[in-house]
Amino acid sequence: MDSQQWEQWKAAKDKRLRQSGEVMYLLDGNGVPLMEVDGASDVSAPREDGVESSLQVTVPIDKALCLTHPLLEELVADNLGQQESSGALKTVGNKSRFIFFERAGGIRSVYRITHTVAKYDNDIITEIEVNGVDSISILSRLPAFSVRLSIDGKWNRLANDYAVQFERQRWIQTFQMAKVADGYTKTGAAADIITDIIQQSLSALHKAFGIHEDDAPYIVRRLDRTYSPEASITLADESILDTIKKAADSAGVGLTSTIIFPGEEHNIVSPTIVFQVTQR
């Protein structure tokens, strides 16, 4: 989408928001809107700081659209009614998709879709149940590097390891890992060191994959500057969420996420998930 298309989408979204008080959209894996999700009969989307909250959205499907409904083609099967040579439907479970909510007052949340269940009546799809997890779960899939400066962004082709010849060559990138805790423990105001660990880990990942910081899909922000208790966090190359969660819980640091779209801030050029750190 170019800047004009983003402006048009935002205008339409904001109009719907004023009319109904809330909107829900299906986003692709890059955060680009695919369609509005309208007519949901039930939505369960609780949120809790620092927890991978779950999403469940139930959408009734009109019988006349049971083979052509756009949500079905995006989340259940590709070209419903068409089959693989084996007789199975052409599934689309490997597509990365998000659900985006916005409510009056600028309250936003974004969920990564994990799976979709189609419910049938006499072989006709009557509703789909979309399941997902809060985008804070992304931090449970990304590493908090102990020796982040060892990442140089250089990939090497590997045909075998010490014992096995690979069927297909692999691209690998090497980096160092801490062997002892000494020197890899951060101490300071809990909210500050949590923000720093997330920022430094994301920056290391961006460097590893050649992503310029201006195009970063994820960023972190501390939303307040109030007093935060002292904490110590040891980096042991675990996931970011596992690394920071205990200290965050002990110090009362909240961790939430939202999304910013192009045109909403001058330096945002693509949809960007923002991890938000707050001292409660």
Per-residue pLDDT tens for 216-229? 999 999 999 899 99
Residue 44, pLDDT > 90, answer: no
CA distance 6 to 28: 15
Question: Is the four-CA dihedral 214, 220, 223, 224 of positive or negative sign?
Answer: negative
Structure tokens at 45: 């989307």
* Amino acid, single-letter form, for residue 177: M
Largest CA distance in the chain: 65
Quote the pTM value. 0.84
What pLDDT does 93 receive? Answer: 56
Residue 14, pLDDT > 90, answer: yes
Percent over 90 (pLDDT), the chain: 51
CA distance 279 to 223: 8
Least Cα distance to 141 among 33, 31, 28, 273 occurs for 273
Which tens digit of pLDDT belongs to each residue from 238-278? Answer: 999 999 999 999 999 999 999 999 999 988 899 999 999 99
